Structure 1
Amino acid sequence: MLKLMVACLSMAVMAASAGAAITKAPFGKTADGKAVDLYTLTGKNGFEAKISTFGATLVSLKVPDKNGKLANVVLGFDTVKPYVDGVPFYGATIGRYGNRIALGKFTLDGKPVQLTVNDGPNSLHGGKGFDKRLWTAQPVESKQGPALKLTYVSADGEEGYPGQLTVHVTYAVKADNSLAISYEATTTKPTVVNLTNHSYFNLTGDPKNTILNHLLTLKADRITPVDKTLIPTGELRPVKGTPFDFTKATAIGARIGANDEQLKFGRGYDHNWVLTSGGGKLATAAILEDPTSGRVMEVKTTEPGIQFYSGNFMDGKPAGKGTVYNHRTGLCLETQHFPDSPNKPKFPSTVLKPGQTYHSETVLVFRNAK
């Protein structure tokens, strides 16, 4: 059966059980002519995830609303071309280091490291990161539902990072309408690793709507405030009494225009929240609800932080055939270690050494509001 799955080059059922299946289809080609595949993982209730081998990208995620109507709740594109042409991280696996590192510099084991700088003075999301690389993919057996394991080997010195890093990302569609994303990595030299997924969510299922009426709860009572270049200052600042307090469900648009220095720096929300769980075990980080459709997404993670980004830089420019995503029609909830951790000794460490294995898991659980 496994040989059949690997050999199949056209869209065909690769694994099926009680309505669950994995299929594969062409998605286009990279700039140098390499074929890109699109895998569709379908759960028992029509819950469906589409994943591209370019960037190990979540292209689509169909979820039922309160009336059982399925709609795609992540922003994506119909072919690989917009991703190849450089759309900013839509649905992608981010690495080697998610978020920002100040000036693209840090010291590791007494040795200076200089990374590619691609965000003003800083390094963002690994430079030409994992989102712009072609991954290999293989369906894997899972008792809970269809799963896809993607692999990428990042060369020693790629974008300035030391060590050859072998990375695995596994997407699994489960019977309870959840999508589990598991990460694993090993290295040949001491390095830093901070992997995440950069999907833009819109639970209305219609990207013509903004996300400002979505209700957000974050299981965090502190943030890591930033400077003008969005690098954390090192402080862990309480959110109580500020526009950053989402300890209770609050509409995203309720305070986004407040006269607050941090909101001005980010042009809205673009900050890391310090999760009360502390990381290390799977725990709820965020709950997002669209009151109109009734869709609710609970984000569980083993990570100590979560970056909430409110689509502040979305500009409405065409990004594909007939596709336009206007200002704040999507939001990101990136589970992560804190930005600039390699330069902040008091932040949880992101160092990975030979002989160690990096593990991280995030689960998106969907249900309908009661």
Structure 2
Amino acid sequence: MSRIEPFGTLSDGRKVECVTLRGGGLTARLLTYGAILQDLRMEGVAHPLVLGSDRIADYEGPLIHFGAIVGRFANRIAGGRFRIDGRDGQADLNEAGRTTLHGGTEGSGRMIWTIAAFSDTSATLTLEMPDGHMGFPGNLQVQVVCALPGDGALSFDITATTDKPTPCSFAHHGYFNLDGSDDVRGHSLQIAADHYLPVDDAQIPTGEEALVKGTPFDFRDPREIGRHGYDHNFCLWRSRTELRPVALLRGTGGLGMEVDTTEPGLQVYDGALIPRIEGLEGRQYGPHAGLALETQVWPDAPNHSRFPDWLLKPGQTYRHRVAYRFGAAQGQ
């Protein structure tokens, strides 16, 4: 049975609730703070499939963004700059005073969402982001449906509408670990992408769309993640499309996770800066304890004319679907 229960109190006094979902062999716990996927379990698997904490304070500090729905623009915007209809916009600079990361200091991953509906297998959370919030124009109405539709799948359906043109790109920022190890770099990864985006020292795309062939970014065939270091966008396609498989992650024990999405980009982050902290079940986290696979519009798209469309206009509906499907990996 689905249930809602108190989870904790934030440092500013806001109350956080947790809703538990069960279905298709999975159990998911979702927080109203940041729409965070706090825990994910699979029948017959002894360890959690995601990184998380039972302490709300951890999500305000060392585990910021872990498992959250981040936005209103996921990933980075160089200088926080964007231009709409000939007018320059300036978003909150929350990363070293140089970039806007995941929507700013108080992006969607740090706001309280409302549980609008829930059942045994799904929960609908809503959020209102006011005009001018973090420097972005438009009253943005956001909804995410988190569901366990069956056959080992976890899905997020994110929609949004606005009353002014605004940058809009959300992402689920979960960290996955399929074998319960201390380091996911031994996992196997496959990505259906011929190009990736090189970045500068601020992790901002240079504008080049580089071929993966002959580089450490070539995951077109499955191979070990390894120690090259990844916090890069893989270019899936140039516009939003129908739901389709884009990546396959496999743990050393044979459990696999297929990623299906409608989005044009996949950010792969190997967790190099994950802090040393006690997580779920007392597990000791540290660098590379989990892998983030974030489906999204390409980072810094507002400042690159050739990147996929990033602008949501009145009368339009932003629609983003992603599904993570767990089971025995191909080749096992």
The answer to whether the superposition gives a TM-score over 0.5 is: yes
Name the amino acid aligned to 1:48: T
**Structure 1 contact 153–164 (Cα < 8 Å) conserved:** yes
Which runs of structure 1 show a deviation greater than 4 angstroms over 4 or more consecutive aligned residues?
317-323
User: What is the aligned partner in structure 2 of residue 49 from structure 1?
Assistant: 28
Q: 1:44 to 1:104 in 2, by over 3 A?
A: closer
Counterpart among 295, 300, 310 of residue 270 in structure 2: 310
**Structure 1 contact 77–323 (Cα < 8 Å) conserved:** no
**Structure 1 contact 211–331 (Cα < 8 Å) conserved:** yes
Q: 1:317 to 1:22 in 2, by over 3 A?
A: closer
- What secondary structure, in the 3-state scheme, does the structure 2 residue paired with 1:342 have? helix
C-alpha displacement at 1:282, in angstroms?
0.5
User: What is the aligned partner in structure 2 of residue 113 from structure 1?
Assistant: 89
Provide the C-alpha distance between the structure 2 equivalents of 1:235 and 1:329, rounded to a whole number of angstroms. Answer: 30
Matched, 1:60 2:39: yes
Name the amino acid aligned to 1:153: E
Provide the C-alpha distance between the structure 2 equivalents of 1:109 and 1:86, rounded to a whole number of angstroms. Answer: 38
Gaps of 5+ in 2: none
**Structure 1 contact 87–319 (Cα < 8 Å) conserved:** no
Name the amino acid aligned to 2:186: N
Q: How many residues align?
A: 328
Name the amino acid aligned to 2:199: V
Name the amino acid aligned to 2:103: G
Matched, 1:332 2:312: no
The structure with the larger Rg is: 1
User: What is the aligned partner in structure 2 of residue 264 from structure 1?
Assistant: none
The correspondence of residues 92-131 of structure 1 with structure 2, limited to 5 A, is: 92-120=68-96, 121-128=98-105, 129-131=107-109
Counterpart among 111, 122, 126 of residue 133 in structure 1: 111
- What secondary structure, in the 3-state scheme, does the structure 1 residue paired with 2:186 have? coil
| Superposed CA RMSD | 1.8
TM-score relative to the length of structure 2: 0.94
User: What is the aligned partner in structure 2 of residue 281 from structure 1?
Assistant: 242
Name the amino acid aligned to 1:280: T
Provide the C-alpha distance between the structure 2 equivalents of 1:298 and 1:125, rounded to a whole number of angstroms. Answer: 24
Gaps of 5+ in 1: 1-20, 258-267
- What secondary structure, in the 3-state scheme, does the structure 2 residue paired with 1:159 have? helix
Between the two proteins, what is the percent identity of the paired residues?
A: 40
Name the amino acid aligned to 2:135: G
Show CA shifts across 1:105-139 (max 9, x none).
Answer: 11111111011111121111111211110110133
Q: 1:305 to 1:134 in 2, by over 3 A?
A: same
The correspondence of residues 1-370 of structure 1 with structure 2, limited to 5 A, is: 21-45=1-25, 47-64=26-43, 68-85=44-61, 87-120=63-96, 121-128=98-105, 129-140=107-118, 146-204=121-179, 206=180, 208-253=181-226, 256-257=227-228, 268-276=229-237, 279-292=240-253, 294-317=254-277, 324-369=284-329, 370=332
Show CA shifts across 1:87-122 (max 9, x none).
Answer: 221100100100000111111111110111111211
